Structure 1
Amino acid sequence: MREKLFLLLANLFWAGNYVVGKQVIKETGPLWLTFIRWGIALIFLLPLTYLLERPRYIEVLKRWWLPLLVNGILGIIGYNLLLYGALKYTSPMNAAIVNALNPAIIVMFSYFLLKERITLMNIFGFAVSLIGVLFILTKGHLLFIFQANYNLGDLMMLLAGVVWALYSIMGRKLAVPPITATAFSVFFSIVTLLPFMFFHPFSLHELSKGGSIGILYISLFPSVLSFLFWNVSVKKVGPSYAGIYLNFIAVFTALITFLLGDSLSMPQLVGGGLVLTGVYLATAIPKTKASRSTDATVSSGH
């Protein structure tokens, strides 16, 4: 029962990242939000690695520094810049629905890059999910697929899914505990971003009270607590069962959006239903090795 609650809370906090992030980037921009979010999160992640996993830090750095650096560039810098950049142009609901395609993308990439086993049902599920995303991109007019003026934010979220797939596939090769791997990837990403921050000056004094609260939420809840809840639950119930709960991100985003007074369009509802159904078919029937790795690594990027 506790694990189910943890999984629900983890996905609720990740859903909040889309809604809150949409507002915060108006003050900070994607670059500074990414830097501040993970800089604050790192302060909490480092002691968590010691308390929960007790890694040999020097050994991890000597053996895995390059893969962890690449993972930081892909999963922390690349994914988050694309995510927050997308939120400048699209709605949190659209971003969450397109993001729901990620597990299916990983299965397909694993087939082509790692020669993982794939079935006709997996392919069919991926196709259904893709149709759902296209339904959203064309605002319900699939016949306009080659002539529609697509929303830039939705396209950026598709690219973010590709970046996340590469990050997740690389993460499979890391023999490093998940919280430790995330902490070091975040560390390397912060170091990589630091020189760029001098060319984009920003004063924290410019933040409004709402912006400051939003940053604290994003830094603590979806960045630290969600990841902690996710990994504690995965150890108890397994990644296959936990992976099913990832569909709640889009559901919770829709609920938050509705509660805040925004309406949901028919293309969003229909497209979202197709995406979630397709992802289930692409990853859960049958459960492939690729999808198991997807469940285990997906948590640090939302």
Structure 2
Amino acid sequence: MSKDDVARPRAARRRLQIAPLILLTLAACFWGGNVIAGKLAAGTLGPLSLSTMRWALAALAILPFALPGLRRDWPHIRAGMGWLAFYGIIGFTSFNALLYSATLYTSGINVAMIQAVIPVFVMIGSFSLFRVGSSALHLLGAALAIYGVLHVASEGAPQRLLQLHLNIGDVMMVLGCLCYAAHSLCLRYRPRIGWQSFLLVTSLFAAVSSLILQLLFGGGIGSLVSDVARLDGAGWTIVAYTTLFASILAQMFYVSGVEAVGANRASLFINLVPVFGALMSVAILGERMAPYQFVAALFIVAGIGLAEYSAARRR
């Protein structure tokens, strides 16, 4: 056997090992870009209009691919309909409606960086609800990350929190993170169905709940129709991005990555979402990071690093 014959299988194995890591990185990048899409849509498309269109189009796009599995999964879907509604309404609609609304009042960098608190909220919820313990190092990391988010929300003056002088956009984003953390914590109750069926049904619930919010708080159907009628090429590009990349491809890539390397390793890549979001805010939106944002980023990165190091030691 020649050296080339030995090298080829090794190279193939390396490619198989690297491929899921690339997919997971792309998923985080696409989710980070969702912040930019929301910011660019401001003034063109209302937050609830964007959310409604995003999830309705995502459901239509995934429908042809989900139909075969939908028939097979239907008994489990019917039994777990309540949880699927919860995921669509809380994890998809509430999180994204708050994210898109937050971009109207605060910077893309803030919106991106505050998302770093989601794993911390999940850790706190896991202990509070399911008694999943954490090490002292993990708790220290969580505390640093939380302080980093508070540092961002208070614009570098944490004492302002005592006076409740907060940017409404930052508050919206923190509430959105609480919604997504609740969604993540409850995924343990997800019906055992294929990811296509899961994405289709949850997207349908997200589209319907977004439309209801549009009717109640977004100006009704007339405002939605008006927003759609005013869309130009740039506006449709934003809608297409949130539908294809932030909704379908990101979810597909993340699920594929989880199947390849396991949930523990895959979950680490979620921490790249605020990184990509902040970098794209600088590169695409032309925003500049203020000194307090740099300080907050150091606390957030240090906190996440300590928490993940602690988790790796325990594994």
Question: When the two structures are superposed, what TM-score results if normalisation uses the length of structure 1?
Answer: 0.87
1:160-171 matched pairs, under 5 angstroms: 160-171=176-187
Question: What does the per-residue CA deviation read over 1:105-125, in whole Å, with 9 as the maximum and x for residues that have no partner?
Answer: 111011111222222222211
Q: Percent identity?
A: 28
Q: Identify the residue that residue 269 of structure 1 maps to in structure 2.
A: 294
Is 1:209 the counterpart of 2:225? The answer is no
Question: What does the per-residue CA deviation read over 1:127-149, in whole Å, with 9 as the maximum and x for residues that have no partner?
Answer: 11111011112222234431362
Distance 2:191 2:185 in 1: 13
Q: Identify the residue that residue 9 of structure 1 maps to in structure 2.
A: 26
1:80-229 matched pairs, under 5 angstroms: 80-147=96-163, 149-176=165-192, 177-198=194-215, 199-201=220-222, 202-203=224-225, 204-229=228-253
Question: What does the per-residue CA deviation read over 1:246-282, in whole Å, with 9 as the maximum and x for residues that have no partner?
Answer: 2222222232222233211121122122113213333
Aligned residues: 289
Tell me how large the CA RMSD over aligned residues is: 2.3
Verify the 8 A CA contact 2:149 2:296 in the aligned structure 1.
yes
The amino acid across from 2:23 in the alignment is F
Question: What does the per-residue CA deviation read over 1:177-232, in whole Å, with 9 as the maximum and x for residues that have no partner?
Answer: 44432321111232334455452422211112211111111111111111111111
| SS class of match (1:154) | helix
Question: What does the per-residue CA deviation read over 1:49-73, in whole Å, with 9 as the maximum and x for residues that have no partner?
Answer: 457x676232133211111112211
Is 1:26 the counterpart of 2:43? The answer is yes
Verify the 8 A CA contact 1:105 1:162 in the aligned structure 2.
yes
Distance 1:209 1:60 in 2: 41
Question: What does the per-residue CA deviation read over 1:33-83, in whole Å, with 9 as the maximum and x for residues that have no partner?
Answer: 1110111111233344457x6762321332111111122111122111111
| SS class of match (1:257) | helix
Distance 1:223 1:57 in 2: 21
Return the offset for 1:159: 0.8
The amino acid across from 1:2 in the alignment is A
Q: Identify the residue that residue 298 of structure 1 maps to in structure 2.
A: none
In the alignment, structure 1 segments of 5+ residues that lack a partner are: 293-302
Return the offset for 1:163: 1.0
Distance 1:266 1:72 in 2: 37
Verify the 8 A CA contact 1:128 1:278 in the aligned structure 2.
yes
| SS class of match (2:311) | coil
Deviating above 4 A after TM superposition, structure 1's stretches of 4 or more consecutive aligned residues are 195-198
Question: When the two structures are superposed, what TM-score results if normalisation uses the length of structure 2?
Answer: 0.84
Return the offset for 1:31: 0.9
Distance 2:79 2:209 in 1: 19
2:304 to 272, 279, 291: 279
Q: Identify the residue that residue 56 of structure 1 maps to in structure 2.
A: 72
Distance 1:179 1:99 in 2: 26
In the alignment, structure 2 segments of 5+ residues that lack a partner are: 1-17
Distance 1:64 1:150 in 2: 39
Return the offset for 1:156: 0.9
Is 1:36 the counterpart of 2:53? The answer is yes
| SS class of match (1:172) | helix
Verify the 8 A CA contact 1:101 1:279 in the aligned structure 2.
no
